[in-house]
Amino acid sequence: MPSELERFRLERFLAELRGKRGRGTELISLYIPAGRPISDVMNVLRSEYSAASNIKDRTTRHHVLDALTTVMQRLKLFRVTPPNGLVIFAGYVAGDAPGDESLEIHVLEPPEKLRVWLYRCDSRFYTEILEDMIAVKEVYGLIVVDRGEAAFGLLKGKSLEVVKEIESGVPRKHRAGGQSARRFERIIEQLVHEFYKRVGDYANRIFSNVPDLKGIIVGGPGPAKEEFLKGDYLHYQLKEKVLGVFDIGYSGEAGIYELVKRAEELLRDVQYVREREAMNEFLYHLARDTGLATYGEEEVRRMLQIGAVRLLLISEKLEKVRVYYRCRACGFESEVTVEEGAVVKCSKCGSNDLEITGKITMVEELARLAEQSGAEVIIVSTETSEGKELYRVFGGVAAILRFRL
């Protein structure tokens, strides 16, 4: 499986590809499975080249033939297909103005072993196979239950969703004594039994339709969770997936969030939990002024450059880019971080007559510095309150250091 950073990079790349369009059906998507001989692929492409020579529209014919030629030239660089296979996207991508098209080619080895062959010529690139590879498939079901209410949740990757909340309608205990109290208790127990059946029905409906359900975690503030599990309310196949039962202080939606926190040991590999743990560690060091927490682009970059960062936290919403330029007016060379699409001016003379010598997203720049120094990188979503705080309060960049400086 790809690492978190590799997944993030591929997600962004595929998002860019999805937005590209061709003038006609002239964008080539080629998926070569692991083990397929390059010579076989070349034979197929030569056949496609012959067929494309008969396309009536002159521009489309020219674009398709150019793209096929470029793909075959790239394939000549490979003696054998890479271990995971090979994916190539090529074609003339339409620009903003009519007739403004440019030939692009992208070659990559997929993150998992590719087992399907695909050649497609369309007005868009076919990215679905790669998207399925990086999709988070493991899902955990969450049930919080007490005698008053129940809640159901799904934890998948960075996302925690409260799917359903229900109330029991079971009245509180009867204060009167004697036969009346005993009869009332029997009525309550029957109502509780009916409520547990409803909880089981909802759980069966919600979780049985999840194809990649890895496990179910159950919690609650009282003995109701044990009563529910001991009964035959949950389908036996779901009952076998119960990974743990936890005492928590809340029920309902608040209980779902608390249950995830209490079950962190079970869910340590889930991205939602890893992100929260990392952010909480950063906030811990910041609040106690241990000297091991820092934030902000410039300070974090400086710490990365001297190899002091152990864990780099970057918000997935960070859209800034690092631009390298030479000013044509005064000859000054420098670099600056700006929002994507912003006008860059010389920091020395203020001229906007610049030669852009390089550009990289801030996420990629900081991630490369982290990789060079052996720091771990976590891309933090804004699905949690901690993730929102990283983006809004700390500028989307923070770090935990190896040592105090």
Q: Are the C-beta atoms of residues 324 and 359 closer than 8 Å to each other?
A: yes
What is the per-residue pLDDT across 260-273, written as a single tens digit (0 to 9) for each? Answer: 999 988 887 788 88
Confidence category of residue 2, pLDDT binned at 50, 70, 90: low
> What is the architecture of the domain spanning 276-401?
2-Layer Sandwich (3.30)
Residue 302: which residues within 8 A CB-CB, separation 6 or more? none
Residue 39: which residues within 8 A CB-CB, separation 6 or more? none
- Rounded-to-integer distance, Cα 392 and Cα 398, Å: 12
Predicted TM-score of the model (pTM): 0.74
> What is the architecture of the domain spanning 139-269?
2-Layer Sandwich (3.30)
pLDDT value at 208 more than 70: yes
Answer with the residue of higher pLDDT: 61 or 185. 61
Q: Give the pair of three-digit tokens for residue 377.
A: 């990188």
* CB-count burial class (<10 Å; 0-12, 13-18, 19+) for 90: buried
- Specify which residues 151 forms β-bridges with: 144, 165
CATH no. for 4-134? 3.30.960.10
Domains of the chain by residue range: 4-134, 139-269, 276-401
For residues 389, 392, 395 and 399, what is the CA-based torsion angle, rounded to 10 degrees? 0
Confidence category of residue 232, pLDDT binned at 50, 70, 90: confident
For residues 281, 285, 291 and 295, what is the CA-based torsion angle, rounded to 10 degrees? 70
For residues 311, 315, 316 and 319, what is the CA-based torsion angle, rounded to 10 degrees? -120
